[in-house]
């Protein structure tokens, strides 16, 4: 019971200040603003991280990295209109970076065990990687050009700003089913374009 009261008290404490005010506080070297923003989004980010990668420890590391980087780069932070979307996107990128690093470490360990470790990639490997990366970017550009303005807006609200279908419907004045169908169709177009 005491724990529940503490949680309620903490949530009241953090809800009296907007995200943007906390963001400004961080930019002005206020550690309490960082702590309050961390407290406000910690469980939300952990929950979404577990949904992404099914790894609690990696999710915790990613949250810590996001807020560490936020504090480290506080002097160069720009103003953001949606702090939640910024944190969600940063967190998702950090999870992907940690997963990549984990995969690379596992791969390198396997190569070392097999006695086939290659420290320096060849020029041909670098060239092939950069060409395939450019091809992927071009495919993505073509795929995005196939979307309608409404599809682009819906995807941005859903995946970059982290809004629910209900919130998107409220923002755009559409029915929830329409928003769902718009996002579904946009993803279908992107998937078909990216596969070819």
Q: Is 156 helix (H, G, I), strand (E, B) or coil?
A: helix
How confident is the model over 160-190, as pLDDT tens digits?
A: 778 888 988 888 899 989 988 888 888 888 7
Locate the domains of the chain by residue range. Answer: 2-104, 129-195
To the nearest whole number, what is the mean pLDDT of the chain?
78
CATH 1.10.10.10 is right for the domain spanning 129-195: yes
Q: Which residue has the tokens 């992404």?
A: 52
pLDDT for residue 32: 93
How confident is the model over 86-103, as pLDDT tens digits?
A: 888 888 888 888 888 877
**Share above pLDDT 70 across residues of the chain, in percent, rounded to a whole number:** 75
Q: How far apart are CA 40 and CA 15, in angstroms?
A: 8
Q: Which class would CATH give 2-104?
A: mainly alpha
Nearest to 23 by CA among 59, 65, 67: 67
Global confidence as pTM: 0.48
């Amino acid at each position: 019971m005491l724990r529940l009261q503490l949680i309620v008290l903490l949530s009241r404490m953090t809800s009296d200040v907007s995200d943007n005010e906390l963001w400004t506080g961080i930019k002005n070297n206020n550690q309490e603003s960082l702590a309050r923003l961390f407290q406000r989004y910690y469980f939300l980010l952990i929950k979404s991280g577990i949904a992404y990668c099914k790894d609690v420890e990696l999710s915790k590391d990613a949250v810590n990295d996001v807020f560490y980087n936020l504090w480290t780069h506080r002097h160069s932070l720009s103003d953001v209109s949606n702090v939640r979307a910024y944190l969600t996107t940063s967190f998702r990128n950090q999870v992907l970076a940690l997963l990549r690093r984990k995969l690379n470490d596992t791969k390198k360990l396997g190569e070392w065990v097999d006695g086939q470790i290659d420290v320096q990639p060849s020029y041909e490997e670098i060239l092939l990687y950069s060409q395939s990366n450019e091809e992927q970017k071009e495919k993505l550009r073509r795929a995005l050009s196939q979307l309608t303005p409404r599809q682009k807006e819906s995807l941005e609200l859903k995946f970059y700003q982290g809004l629910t279908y209900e919130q998107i419907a409220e923002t755009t004045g559409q029915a929830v089913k329409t928003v769902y169908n718009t996002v579904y169709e946009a993803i279908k177009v992107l998937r078909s374009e990216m596969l070819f």
